[in-house]
Chain A
């Protein structure tokens, strides 16, 4: 994989993780400050979606590097 592709992979991966971290931080804040099960459920869904997206990003690059 060339340097440009690696940079893009890191960028795209970090963007997903960025969202994961901020949503997880928000969950922590909500758990300690106020109990809102629906809101926490919704945020956990965002985290799961972002983790799946991150996995897709890695898979796409794996396939790209094989071609």
Chain B
């Protein structure tokens, strides 16, 4: 049974919906305006708010600030009859704010409360997308909330597999913009088609242009354009992209007429800002246009406490699809925690999926392979040998100690435990390194 606040000024709809929800076992309070809803929200907490957007005294969106969404106790379903919001529906269902389009169906209404029941056991997805409760992820959520309130362009910086497109979807969801999210991988476009894909073309603009085509900027009007692998964009096209960003107008190839476009550009790269500058893979002026609000997505190895949540979520999805109840043993979970995940969340998801298939439907636990490392792992033997050959044992030991400390956030007790030495030995080694550095400095 849920406590529901129904905010809508159409009495014939609210009367029927209230009675239907009562039959389904829920308590309903009705508000016919933003003001009335605010009054009610000030006195009582609800499990779910069903919110019409067009109310006599303003937009239903204004109420979102009055609802405690962050802790997940109250969820909001925006009910809209406006077609512009329709395109967002599929991408947003499942978050603390989701959308249903009029006319509603009873199944749609019932499914909202089934989701609420399931969410008690499932992992929380922030902005309907992101999983993780670590400090670094909380900081990421804070940045997403900050930028969602503006229309600033965002550059996502992070290693391969950290989930840059997922973060782009989260930003789009948090922005509640009217247009769609359109994704374009700049690295996958043939050089000769980049202009056509980005800006569109008129019929006959070039050989093979058999009909008019809208570019991704036009498609993302009033929404979000996600440009993945932005640093792979050919230099020759970068001035054209810069011009669109500066003027908010786009001209299809073969057309003389420019079109107004209004969309937030979220770009992504797996290079650091320093690498971009050093390698000159993006023009400086374009970088500053794209990276008005740069966000660095943390790699999985610095948020290992999120691994159990991610594993649970992946298993929950696989078990739901297959009607199974496969879990993971404590020993195997520890192995996942000890690994450094060079391929990040993508690698973890792949490993869980592969192990799930290997386990079979009747097994209680996942069948993790003996060697969980990928060929890209820093732990891979070949790589390690290449790195170590030519070094002294003393250098190797020092590097191992320093890397282990870095991995465990300078937690000396944990590092000593992992290295298999006493905390006293660790301190002795660190003091020795410090002294040798002091001696070297003095010698200079």
Interface residues of A, Cβ cutoff 8 Å to B: 7, 10-15, 17-23, 25-26, 29, 33, 43, 46, 49-50
**Are the C-beta atoms of A10 and B83 separated by less than 8 Å?**
yes
- The count of residues in chain B whose C-beta lies closer than 8 Å to any C-beta of chain A is 21
Given contacts A17-B102, A18-B102, A21-B104, contact A11 B83 (CB under 8 A): yes
**Are the C-beta atoms of A46 and B12 separated by less than 8 Å?**
yes
| Chain B residues near A33 (CB-CB < 8 A) | 23
Nearest-Cβ distance from residue B218 to partner chain A, whole angstroms = 14
Closest B residue to A53 using CB positions: B12
**Are the C-beta atoms of B16 and A14 separated by less than 8 Å?**
no
B208 CB within 8 Å of chain A: no
Q: How many Å lie between the Cα of A50 and that of B13 in the bound state?
A: 10
User: Could you jot down 9 A-B contacts, CB within 8 Å?
Assistant: A7-B84, A10-B81, A15-B10, A17-B102, A18-B81, A21-B103, A25-B105, A26-B16, A29-B20
Within 8 A of A (CB), among B1-59: 10, 12-13, 15-17, 19-20, 23, 54
| Chain A residues near B105 (CB-CB < 8 A) | 21, 25
Nearest-Cβ distance from residue A13 to partner chain B, whole angstroms = 8
Q: How many Å lie between the Cα of A66 and that of B366 in the bound state?
A: 67
Q: How many Å lie between the Cα of A14 and that of B54 in the bound state?
A: 13
Given contacts A11-B54, A23-B12, 17 further A-B contacts (CB under 8 A): A11-B83, A12-B81, A14-B81, A14-B102, A15-B13, A15-B102, A17-B103, A18-B10, A18-B79, A21-B103, A21-B105, A22-B16, A22-B104, A23-B16, A29-B23, A33-B23, A43-B16
**Are the C-beta atoms of B84 and A14 separated by less than 8 Å?**
no
**Are the C-beta atoms of B83 and A50 separated by less than 8 Å?**
no
Given contacts A14-B103, A29-B20, A29-B23, contact A22 B13 (CB under 8 A): yes
Q: How many Å lie between the Cα of A22 and that of B102 in the bound state?
A: 10
How many cross-chain pairs have Cβ atoms below 8 Å apart between A and B?
62
Closest B residue to A13 using CB positions: B81
Candidate in B13, B23, B82 with the most chain A CB atoms within 10 angstroms: B13
Nearest-Cβ distance from residue A52 to partner chain B, whole angstroms = 12
B101 CB within 8 Å of chain A: yes
Q: How many Å lie between the Cα of A30 and that of B270 in the bound state?
A: 58
**Are the C-beta atoms of B102 and A25 separated by less than 8 Å?**
no
| Chain B residues near A25 (CB-CB < 8 A) | 16, 20, 105-106
Partner pick for A46 among B16, B84, B101, B106, CB 8 A cutoff:
B16
Q: How many Å lie between the Cα of A33 and that of B106 in the bound state?
A: 16
| Chain A residues near B101 (CB-CB < 8 A) | 14
| Chain B residues near A18 (CB-CB < 8 A) | 10, 13, 79, 81, 102-104
Closest B residue to A24 using CB positions: B16
Q: How many Å lie between the Cα of A22 and that of B20 in the bound state?
A: 8
**Are the C-beta atoms of A49 and B83 separated by less than 8 Å?**
no
Partner pick for A50 among B12, B17, B104, B106, CB 8 A cutoff:
B12
Nearest-Cβ distance from residue A63 to partner chain B, whole angstroms = 21
Q: How many Å lie between the Cα of A7 and that of B83 in the bound state?
A: 6
| Chain B residues near A46 (CB-CB < 8 A) | 12, 15-16
**Are the C-beta atoms of A7 and B82 separated by less than 8 Å?**
yes
| Chain B residues near A49 (CB-CB < 8 A) | 12
Closest B residue to A39 using CB positions: B19
Q: How many Å lie between the Cα of A23 and that of B105 in the bound state?
A: 11
Given contacts A14-B103, A25-B106, A29-B23, contact A19 B16 (CB under 8 A): yes
Q: How many Å lie between the Cα of A21 and that of B10 in the bound state?
A: 13
| Chain B residues near A7 (CB-CB < 8 A) | 82-84
Type the 1/0 row for B95-135, where 1 means its CB is closer than 8 Å to any CB of A.
00000011111100000000000000000000000000000
Q: How many Å lie between the Cα of A26 and that of B119 in the bound state?
A: 27
Partner pick for A11 among B13, B20, B82, CB 8 A cutoff:
B82
Q: How many Å lie between the Cα of A25 and that of B102 in the bound state?
A: 14
Within 8 A of A (CB), among B70-96: 79, 81-84
| Chain A residues near B103 (CB-CB < 8 A) | 14, 17-18, 20-21
**Are the C-beta atoms of B81 and A15 separated by less than 8 Å?**
yes
**Are the C-beta atoms of A26 and B81 separated by less than 8 Å?**
no
Closest A residue to B17 using CB positions: A22
Nearest-Cβ distance from residue A51 to partner chain B, whole angstroms = 12
Nearest-Cβ distance from residue B54 to partner chain A, whole angstroms = 8
